[in-house]
Amino acid sequence: MLLFLKNMLFTVIVPGTVAVYVPLSLAAGRAGPPLRWGVAQSTALLPLISGGAFYFWSLWDFAAFGRGTPAPVDAPRRLVVRGLYRYVRNPMYVGVLLVIAGWALFFESRLILGYGAVVALIFHLFVWAVEEPSLRGKFGDSYELYCREVGRWVP
């Protein structure tokens, strides 16, 4: 139960802020939500829903299999290579970026799209400079093999 609570707290604070609060705040700076529901809003449902599903499925695998959270201070104890992690090494980040792309499409906002590009760059640099070296140190050869077999961002 404590692990579930830690994962939900992290989700509300970090991805919730990055993928929901900030994009909606950026959208509020313009005239508000679209006056009519059109093709862009309908199309936006795909990245919004799939991004959320990617994130929560990956979060479940972190907790149930890895026995940890996405927070670096409480990382999984086992290398998670199941679920979406069989196809891409960073499905949580991909999920968050899909949600941001969905908001950009929903609000037809270049500002949110630009914000998403900056977030993507920050994610990439953090994964490359911090997460991957840490995982190499923690899991050694098994992580190296995993990196050779599974792409960082795309299958």
pLDDT in tens, 21-56: 999 999 987 656 666 788 999 999 999 999 999 999
Does residue 154 belong to any structural domain of this protein? Answer: no
In a domain, 139, yes or no: yes
Least confidently predicted of 4-8, 80-84, 133-137: 4-8
The reply to whether 43 falls in a domain is yes
Q: Read off the CATH number of the domain in which 79 is found.
A: 1.20.120.1630
The answer to whether residue 155 is domain-embedded is no
- 76 within 8 A of 66, measured Cβ to Cβ: yes
Q: What is the pLDDT, as a whole number, of residue 154?
A: 93
Range with top average pLDDT, 4-8, 39-43, 56-60, 96-100 = 96-100
How many separate domains does the chain show?
1
- Tens of pLDDT, residue by residue over 64-97, are 888 888 887 777 889 999 999 999 999 999 999 9
pLDDT > 90? residue 114 = yes
- pTM for the complete prediction? 0.92
Q: pLDDT-derived band of residue 11, with 50, 70 and 90 as boundaries?
A: confident
Residue 45 structural domain: 2-149
| DSSP state string for 46-109 | HHHHHHHHHHHHHHHHHHHTT-S-SSGGG--SS---SGGGGTBS-HHHHHHHHHHHHHHHHTT-
